[in-house]
Amino acid sequence: MADFDADLDRSSPVPLYHQMAEQIHLAIRTGRLAPGALLGNEIALANEFGLSRPTMRSAIHELVEKGVLVRRRGVGTQVVQGPITRSVQLTSLFDDLVKADQQPRTSVLLHEITPAPDDVAAALKLPRRQPVLHLRRIRYANHHPLAILENYLPHRLLEVTAIDLSRHGLYDLLRSGGVRMKVAKQRIGARDGSAAECSLLNEDTDSPLLTMERVTHDDTGRVVEFGRHLYRPSLYQFSVTLVGR
Amino acid sequence: MADFDADLDRSSPVPLYHQMAEQIHLAIRTGRLAPGALLGNEIALANEFGLSRPTMRSAIHELVEKGVLVRRRGVGTQVVQGPITRSVQLTSLFDDLVKADQQPRTSVLLHEITPAPDDVAAALKLPRRQPVLHLRRIRYANHHPLAILENYLPHRLLEVTAIDLSRHGLYDLLRSGGVRMKVAKQRIGARDGSAAECSLLNEDTDSPLLTMERVTHDDTGRVVEFGRHLYRPSLYQFSVTLVGR
DNA sequence: GAGTGGTCTAGACCACAGT
DNA sequence: CTGTGGTCTAGACCACTCG
């Protein structure tokens, strides 16, 4: 019965179940809860921290969805083995790199308003030839080119300068512009880079590249961004954690 | 206020919230609930179907996590725009192909017990040189080679013949063998195929291939499978749906 | 102010795993 | 049999959005 302490702040705007989940997660990351260790049963835990059972359940559920905990009826709740690789989140590559202290840098190659090509209009669910904001950027990490990022956004959704773009991730800018992204659909593939692409990325001609297409929806279900990105597979891969039934 | 009917079976072992979620999802897929449509508020819906509010909430939550619905406080719950691309599930490629009616076929190249190489032992969290089951298969769809699948499993976890493997997906076999997979961590990248790999996959030499490494855990948090797969990007890509905060 | 989802509680009963 | 998580209910209060 692993015990660990946690301070919950009932006056905080952060939900109790989330505070609780964070505390458990912390106990796991710091080794106070070892892989394979059993948490006590929900009711005991709930009492221990002065929560109701549903609230404690909700906290545990959050970590189960993240792939950190596993539950078995009649047995208990255990910590999953092995280092937890963070799953793909709804954040930009830029944010991820900042957190990982990878000295990200962005150079803006293109920043224009243009009539949407047919495929872009289809992806953004706009009429053909509707004006859209078109961006092409290169993302560097530790001074090495990492990716070519091409994005299309509905016109007037976001007013940004090239300076803004070089300093912040697109998702950051969208968020501070009041856009609330909620759902993103990505497709990941591979292909050889063109001569131009490879030279931008400092790769030999015809090197294999990772491709990612993404459509992002906001709060209201509307499409707010369409992206077509190219990554150097030697420097970047996608990690996903899946949780079953 | 979109209305739609649903029959719930209270005597079924399937949870009510899940039945409800399926019914809503069905209404969306069949167009009875159009993209952008508002669902009615939770309490009204709960009453309409004779459920408590928490149960109805749980149903809606399930679809929000899938990226099908979006909720806004003070406003309501809406259907997300655009076709719902199914997210990556904890199922095998084989299962997916069967469902999509792609006439999958598997040919088993290798099926042996062998001491685990160091990297495999590390991935499976076993001692070095421990015997493991080593599989190499080719997956075909519509008579075209689609992927090379290389897998390592702890010895004695699964007793299978090459015949079994040619008829069923590995996940299916594991499931019927009593193994309950719960969490999988994947890493997706790209590289050029070797001459041998490309020839197996019917690609030109040095074609770019999609790579996927996966570690799967069961119920108890133990590692039950390690896979290193190669896909032809012209025939297969990975789709992921992300849901924010 | 009226309406919405977001959170939290207190309790009940059931299904399953282990003994 | 006992203990665990899984489901479901009834009700309360809060926070946010919009007209």
> Which of A85, A126, A180, A186 to mutate to test binding with chain B, by most B CBs within 10 Å of its CB?
A186
Q: Which nucleotides of D are covered by protein (CB under 7 A)?
A: 3-12, 15-18
Looking at the fold, whether B37 and B90 belong to one and the same domain comes out as no
Looking at the fold, whether B68 and B100 belong to one and the same domain comes out as no
Domain assignment present for residue B185? The answer is yes
Asked which of B79, B103, B126 is the last residue of a domain, the reply is B79
What are the chain A neighbours of B33 within 8 Å (beta carbons)? none
DSSP single-letter state for residue A235: T
What are the chain B neighbours of A66 within 8 Å (beta carbons)? none
- CATH number of the domain residue B55 falls in: 1.10.10.10
Looking at the fold, whether A48 and A145 belong to one and the same domain comes out as no
Looking at the fold, whether A66 and A98 belong to one and the same domain comes out as no
Q: Does B15 touch chain A (CB under 8 A)?
A: no
**Confidence (pLDDT) at B245:** 64
**Confidence (pLDDT) at A85:** 53
pLDDT tens digits along A127-171: 989 999 999 999 988 788 999 999 999 988 788 888 888 888 898
Judged against a pLDDT cut of 80, whether residue A224 lies above it is answered with yes
Q: How far apart are CA A55 and CA A73, in angstroms?
A: 18
What's chain A's average pLDDT? 85
Determine whether the interchain pair B125/A192 forms a contact, defined as Cβ–Cβ distance below 8 Å.
no
Judged against a pLDDT cut of 80, whether residue B87 lies above it is answered with no
Give me the domain span that covers residue A176.
84-239
Asked which of B31, B63, B79 is the last residue of a domain, the reply is B79
**Confidence (pLDDT) at A159:** 83
Position A90 confidence tier, pLDDT thresholds 50, 70, 90: very low
CA distance B22 to chain A (A): 14
Looking at the fold, whether B63 and B109 belong to one and the same domain comes out as no
Which residues are bridge partners to B198 per DSSP? Answer: none
Averaged pLDDT for residues A57-74: 89
**Residue tagged 């990505």 (tokens):** A186
**Confidence (pLDDT) at A92:** 56
Domain assignment present for residue B244? The answer is no
Looking at the fold, whether A201 and A122 belong to one and the same domain comes out as yes
Looking at the fold, whether B89 and B188 belong to one and the same domain comes out as yes
With 0.85 as the threshold, say if the pTM is over it: no
Q: Does A175 touch chain B (CB under 8 A)?
A: no
Looking at the fold, whether A135 and A229 belong to one and the same domain comes out as yes
> Which of A62, A87, A179, A182 to mutate to test binding with chain B, by most B CBs within 10 Å of its CB?
A182
Looking at the fold, whether B187 and B90 belong to one and the same domain comes out as yes
Looking at the fold, whether B33 and B91 belong to one and the same domain comes out as no
The total number of structural domains that make up chain B: 2
Looking at the fold, whether A59 and A164 belong to one and the same domain comes out as no
Q: Which of B73, B76, B68 is nearest to B2 (CA)?
A: B76
A117 touches strand D (CB under 7 A): no
Q: Which nucleotides of C are covered by protein (CB under 7 A)?
A: 2-12, 15-18
Looking at the fold, whether B65 and B126 belong to one and the same domain comes out as no
Domain assignment present for residue A2? The answer is no
> What tokens appear for B202 in the block?
């019917």
Asked which of A54, A79, A104 is the last residue of a domain, the reply is A79
- CATH number of the domain residue A127 falls in: 3.40.1410.10
For residue B40, is the peptide bond before it cis, meaning its omega torsion is within 30 degrees of 0?
yes
